[in-house]
Amino acid sequence: MIEVCIKRTEDGRISSFQMKGHANFAEYGQDIVCAGASAVSFGTVNAMMEVAGVEPEIRQSKSGLLQCKIPAGLPEEASEKAQILLEGMVVSLQTIEREYGEFIHITFQ
């Protein structure tokens, strides 16, 4: 199962997220749940860097781990852009979870 943990600050902003595990929906190369979750999360990280100019702290491994931490003290415009992209990621992952909930689970802290 893919486990996603979204961490928010007290004011509701996303400060980090972690995605780990494998969906095991289908064979390697055929797993649409894993492909969808990966595309959404990596696309968000790439968009934060290119569109918002935010360089998050990233940690990843071949075992299915992606950790992303948003740096503190960003200029307001960059922070707002990053938050919009991150909220879009959450909506997309929740859409996947609604259809394939036995293969992906999202929690919030």
Q: What is the DSSP string of 41-53?
A: HHHHHHHIIIII-
pTM of the model: 0.94
Provide Rg for the chain, Cα atoms: 14
* Interval 37-51: pLDDT, tens: 999 999 999 999 999
Whether residue 5 lies in the annotated active site: no
pLDDT of residue 2: 97
Whether residue 68 lies in the annotated active site: no
Distance, first Cα to last Cα, the chain: 19
* Interval 22-39: pLDDT, tens: 999 998 889 999 999 999
Q: Give the DSSP letter string of 63-97.
A: TTEEEEEPPSS--HHHHHHHHHHHHHHHHHHHHHH
Q: Tell me, which fold does domain 2-104 have in CATH?
A: Alpha-Beta Plaits (3.30.70)
Q: Catalytic residue, from 5, 34, 68, 105: name it.
A: 34
pLDDT of residue 63: 81
